[in-house]
Structure 1
Amino acid sequence: MATPNEGDSVNVHYTGKLEEDGTVFDTSRPPDEGQDANPLNFTLGEQTVIPGFEQTVGDMEPGEERSVTLSPEQAYGPRRDDLVQQVERDELPDDIEARVGQQLQLRMQNGQTVPVVITEVDEESEQITIDANHPLAGKTLVFDIELVSVEDGEDSGESEIVTP
C-alpha cells in the first residue's frame, strides 16, 4: 500500500486533544462503541484542514494509526494580540445582550464575516472586549489519527478505493 497523493480523497478517524491537559476538543469517533462512526473526508492539497494534520495524513498508509503533536504554527497559529479589540457597546446590535463567552459573527466593512468571542464586558465604560483568535490558536495539539481509506483523485474516470 502507498501513501495518498495530492488530490486524493481520504477518510480518517481522529481524536484531537490539548497537549497541556489531554482535554478532547474534537473527535470523529462516536461516544458509544455501538454507534456508527463517520470518518472525516477531505481532499489532500485543498488546505481544508490544518497544515500539520494534512501533512501527517499525507505520510500515512491506509490502515495506519499515528499519534502526532502539532505546534501552534502547524495548527491554528499563534495567538495574536492584534485580533483582540475593544468596541463600544453601542457598536453592537441592540438585541444582543453582551456577556462573556458569547460568540458573535462580526461583519467587516468589506462584507466578510469574522467569528469573535466576547472576553470582557465593562458595564461602567460600556466597553466590550472581543477576540477574533481561533479558540485553539496558540495551543499545542495532539491528534490520534487513523487513515481509514484513500480514493484516487486522478481524473481517469475510474475510482479506486484503497482500504487495508
Structure 2
Amino acid sequence: MSKVQKGDTVRVHYTGKLDDGTVFDSSEGREPLEFTVGAEQVIPGFEQAVEGMEEGETRSVTIPASEAYGEHREDLVVVIPRNQLPPDIEPEIGMQLQVREPTGQSFVVTVTAFDDETVTLDANHPLAGKDLTFDIEVVEIIRPS
C-alpha cells in the first residue's frame, strides 16, 4: 500500500478540536478536504501529519500553535477610538470586521473589548496561540501524472 508523499493530492476527512474537546471544524457531512501535499494549502502541522499515512488510515495528532496558526501576537491587537468605527456599527465582543489598509489590502479583525471611548481589535487568527488536535482519515491518494 502506498503512503502519502510530497506532491500527492490527498482527500481527507478530519475533525479539529481544541484542548477542551470543543470541535472548531469538521468535514463530517461534507466532501473530504482535498489538497496537494507540499503546496502549503493547509497549516504546516496538518500537512506533516498526513505525510506517510496510507489510504484508509486514521490518525489523531496534536499540532502545537507554532505549526498551526502561530502564537498569539500582541502587536496585532490595537485599541482605537470608538468614533473611528462607521457610525452604523455597534460593537459586540466576538464581532468580526473587515478592515482595509491604505495599501488597499484588507483583513479581518475581531472585537475583543470596547467601552464608550475605545474599541480593541485583534487581527490574530482566532485559533492563534492554540494547540489543535485533529482526527484525520485519508480517503484517497491521487498521484501526480
Task: Return the TM-score normalized by structure 2.
Answer: 0.94
Match of 1:118 in 2: 111
Which has the greater radius of gyration?
1
Match of 1:17 in 2: 17
**1:58 deviation in Å?**
1.4
**1:96 deviation in Å?**
1.5
**1:94 deviation in Å?**
2.0
The runs of 4+ residues in structure 1 deviating greater than 4 Å are: none
Match of 1:52 in 2: 45
**1:140 deviation in Å?**
1.0
Task: Return the TM-score normalized by structure 1.
Answer: 0.84
d(CA) in 2 for partners of 1:58, 1:111: 37
Number of aligned positions between the proteins: 145
Whether 1:106 and 2:99 are equivalent positions in the alignment is yes
Cα deviation, 1:102-159, whole Å, max 9, x if unaligned, reads 1001111211111110111111xx21100011111111111000010011123xxxxx
Match of 1:93 in 2: 86
Please tell me whether the aligned partners of residues 63 and 133 of structure 2 are also in contact (alpha carbons under 8 angstroms): yes
**SS of residue in 1 equivalent to 2:2:** coil
**SS of residue in 2 equivalent to 1:85:** strand
Cα deviation, 1:64-97, whole Å, max 9, x if unaligned, reads 1000011101111111111110111222222222
d(CA) in 2 for partners of 1:100, 1:27: 25
**SS of residue in 2 equivalent to 1:145:** strand
- Show the 5 A alignment for 1:1-164: 1-19=1-19, 21-30=20-29, 37-123=30-116, 126-154=117-145
Which stretches in structure 2 are left out of the alignment for 5+ residues?
none
Match of 1:160 in 2: none
Cα deviation, 1:25-72, whole Å, max 9, x if unaligned, reads 111012xxxxxx411111111111110001111121111100001110
Letter in 2 for 1:81: E
Please tell me whether the aligned partners of residues 95 and 110 of structure 2 are also in contact (alpha carbons under 8 angstroms): yes
State, as a whole percentage, how many aligned pairs show the same letter: 54
